[in-house]
Amino acid sequence: MDIRIEKKKGIRALFTRRGLPYLAGALLLVFVVWLLLRDDSSTLRIDARTISVGEVVRGEFNDYIRVTGQVQPITTVQLSPLEAGVVERLVVEEGTTVRKGDVLVVLSNTSLTLEILNSEAELAEKQNILRNTLISMEQEKLDLRLDKVQLDLDVERKRRTWRQNEELYRNDLIAREEWLQSKEDYELAAKKRELNVERQIQDSLYRSVQIEQMEENLDNMKRNMQLIRERIGNLNVKSPIDGEVGLLDVVLGQSVTSGQKIGQVNDLSDYKVEAQIDESYIDRVRAGLDASFERQDTNFTMRLRKVYPEVRDGRFRADFTFRGPHPDNIRSGQTYYLHLELGQPSEAVIIPRGSFYQTTGGAWVYVLSPEGDRAFKRPVRIGRQNPQYYEVLDGLEPGERVIVSGYENYGANDVLILNR
C-alpha cells in the first residue's frame, strides 16, 4: 500500500534537503550585513552622579599661574669667624635686633695670644739691635772724624817741615836726602787724609743703606704686629649689618674653625617672597613679571626680581619683591599664594580645570551628547592653562559639555553610557 508524502510548506520547507542551501545563504547575508553595520566602539556604563561636567565657553583667558612662596628677609648675611677659637661668651640670642659692629659672640684662642707675645718679644729684640747698630755706627763716624782731624794736623805739620827743608836745601844747608824724606812724609800724610775722606763718604753711604733696610724691616715687623693684634679683635664676631639675629648655631665651649658658618643676620628693612615654580614654566618665567596676592582683604603687588637657573626635584626658585606696601604683620617664614602673570588676558575657548588632565595629558576628553545620556571620546588640543581654566586650541566648540572629573576608572572605552 503506497503512503502519500505531504509536501512541506513555510519555514519547515527551509529545513528540507532542498531548502538548506537557501537557509545557509540567508544566514551568510545576515552576517555580512551585521559586520557592515555593527559599532566597534567599546562602551562602559557609569553612574552619572559620580562625574563632574564642565561647559565649553568662549571668554577671557587670564594667563597666570598660582605659586606658593615663603617670606624671607631681603638680605641674609652669614656669620663666619675670621679666626678659629673656642666660644667663650654668647653676647646676644636669636631674634635680637643688632646694629652693624655689635659683638655677637666672643671667642678665645690661646695659640694666637702666644703668637702675639712672641711677636712682641721679637719686635723688641729687633728694636734693640737697631739701636745698638745706630750707636755703633755713630761711634765709627766720630772715630773717622777724629782721625781726619788728626790727619789734617799731621799734613799741615809735614807740609810746613817740607817747606822749611826745601828752603834750607836751596841754600845747601841740609842734605838732599833729608829734603826728600820731608817731601815724601808730607805726600804720604796728604794721601792718608784723602783715603780718610773717601772712607767717610763710603761709610756714610753704607750706613744710610743699612739703616734704611733695618728701619724698613722694623716697620714691617710693626705692621705685622698690628695685623696680629687685629686678629685678636677678630675673635669678637661682630654683626656685618643692621638687622636681626636669625640663627646662632653655637654653644659655650664649642670649638669653631675659621670660615665656619655659626649663624646669620637678617636685614629686615624689606622683605622678599621666595617661591618654587614647576619646571614646565621655566621658558616663560622671567625677571620683571608682575604678581599679586590678597591678604587682610587687601591686594598687594609684587615683581619677579630674580630667577635661579638651577632645577631641583622638578622645580626652580624665583624671588619676588614688593612693588608697594607690604602687610603690616609680615613675618619671615609666612606662606603667600601668588598669582604670577605670564601674559596679557586674551579671548579664547576655555573649559574648567579638572583631574581628567592627569590621565589624558590634554590629548582627549569625553564629550557629552546633546541628550546627556552618553559621552564620546574625542581628541583635543590643550594650550595654556591657569588655576581655573584650560585653553582649548582645537577639538571643542563653545556650548559643548565635557567630563572634567578623573578618568582613572574608565579604561580605554570610547563611549560612556550615563545611568541616571
| Burial category of 35 from C-beta neighbours within 10 Å (exposed 0-12, middle 13-18, buried 19 and up) | exposed
What is the band of 401 on the pLDDT scale with cuts at 50, 70, 90? Answer: very high
Q: Distance (Å, rounded) from C-alpha 114 to C-alpha 178?
A: 75
- Using CA atoms, how far apart are residues 79 and 286, in angstroms rounded to an integer? 32
Whether residue 74 lies inside any domain: the answer is yes
Total structural domains in the chain? 3
The domain boundary residue, chosen from 298, 317, 343 = 343
Quote the percentage of the chain above a pLDDT of 70. Answer: 90
Cβ neighbours of residue 364 closer than 8 Å, sequence gap 6 or more: 377, 378, 379, 380
Domain boundary among 316, 343, 370: 343
In a domain, 5, yes or no: no
Do residues 342 and 65 touch, judged by C-beta distance below 8 A? yes
Structure confidence at residue 166 (pLDDT): 85
The arithmetic mean of pLDDT across residues 101-122, rounded, is 84
Q: Confirm if 372 and 322 have CB atoms less than 8 A apart.
A: no
One-letter amino acid for residue 351 of the chain: I
Same domain, 270 and 329: yes
Task: Verify that 263 and 176 share a domain, yes or no.
Answer: no
pLDDT of residue 4: 55
Same domain flag for 335 and 351: no
- Does one domain contain both 187 and 87? no
Same-domain status, 244 and 330: yes
The last residue of a domain, from among 327, 343, 359:
343
pLDDT at position 1:
45
Global pTM?
Answer: 0.57
Residue 225 maps to a domain: yes
Integer-rounded Cα Rg, in Å, for the chain is 54
**Mean confidence (pLDDT) of the chain:** 84
Is residue 14 over pLDDT 60?
Answer: no
Looking at the structure, do residues 256 and 310 belong to the same domain, yes or no? yes
207-214 long-range contacts, CB within 8 A, separation 24+: 207/137, 207/141, 210/133, 210/137, 211/133, 211/134, 211/137, 214/129, 214/130, 214/133
**For residue 109, what pLDDT is reported?**
86
For residue 350, the model assigns a pLDDT of 93
Query: Within a 10 A sphere around the Cβ of 168, how many other Cβ atoms?
Result: 15
CA distance 392 to 360: 14
Cell of 408: 582613572
Residue with cell 648655631: 249
Residues 405, 333 share a domain: no
One domain, residues 118 and 227? yes
Summarised one tens digit per residue, pLDDT across range 252-294 is: 988 999 889 989 999 888 889 999 998 888 888 999 999 999 8
pLDDT digits 0-9 by tens, 86-111:
999 999 888 888 999 999 999 988 88
Pairing label, strands 346-352, 364-368: unpaired
Of 240 and 3, the structure prediction assigns the larger pLDDT to 240
Establish if 22 belongs to a structural domain. no
Phi, psi of 304 (to 5 degrees): -70, 115
Q: Is there a domain that residue 115 lies in?
A: yes
Pairing relation of β-strands 263-278 and 64-79?
antiparallel
Report the pLDDT averaged over residues 308-330.
90
What is the percent of the chain with per-residue pLDDT over 90, rounded to a whole number?
25
pLDDT of residue 8 exceeding 60: no
- Considering the domain architecture, whether residues 184 and 265 belong to the same structural domain is answered as no
HSE value, Cβ hemisphere, 13 Å, CA-based, for 239: 26
User: What's the pLDDT band for 131 if we cut at 50, 70, 90?
Assistant: confident
Contact between residue 66 and residue 387 where contact means Cβ atoms under 8 Å apart: yes
Predicted local confidence at residue 143, as pLDDT:
81
Domain of 338?
64-108+236-343
Helix, strand or coil for residue 79?
Answer: strand
- What is the mean pLDDT of the segment spanning 385-398? 90
Mind listing the pLDDT tens digit for each residue in 151-210? 888 888 888 888 888 888 888 888 888 888 888 888 888 898 888 888 888 887 877 787
* Sign of the C-alpha dihedral computed for residues 355, 356, 360 and 363 taken in this order: negative
**Looking at the domain assignment, is residue 29 inside a domain?**
no
**Residue 349's pLDDT is what?**
93
Inter-residue contact 377 to 415 (CB < 8 Å): yes
Q: Let me know whether 269 and 190 are in one domain.
A: no
pLDDT tens track for 327-343: 888 888 889 999 999 88
pLDDT of residue 37: 47
pLDDT at res. 226: 79
Return the C-alpha cell found at 87.
666660644
Is the model's pLDDT at 234 over the cut of 80?
yes
Which pLDDT score, from 0 to 100, does residue 33 have? 56
- Please, which pLDDT band fits residue 316 given cuts at 50, 70 and 90? very high
pLDDT at 36: 47
Residues 243, 332 within the same domain: yes
Given a contact cutoff of 8 angstroms between Cβ atoms, the answer to whether 56 and 401 are in contact is: yes
Coarse DSSP helix, strand, coil percentages of the chain, rounded to the nearest 5 percent: 35, 35, 30
The three grid cell numbers given for residue 236, joined into one nine-digit string: 669678637
283, 285, 289, 295: CA torsion to nearest 10: 150
Same structural domain for residues 317 and 385?
no
Q: Per residue in 223-233, pLDDT tens?
A: 877 777 777 88
Residue 24 lies in a domain: no
* In the block, residue with C-alpha cell 595654556: 384
- pLDDT of the residue at 100: 92
Look at residue 32 and tell me whether its pLDDT is greater than 90. Answer: no
Average pLDDT rounded to a whole number, residues 119-140: 79
Q: Is 182 part of a structural domain of the chain?
A: yes
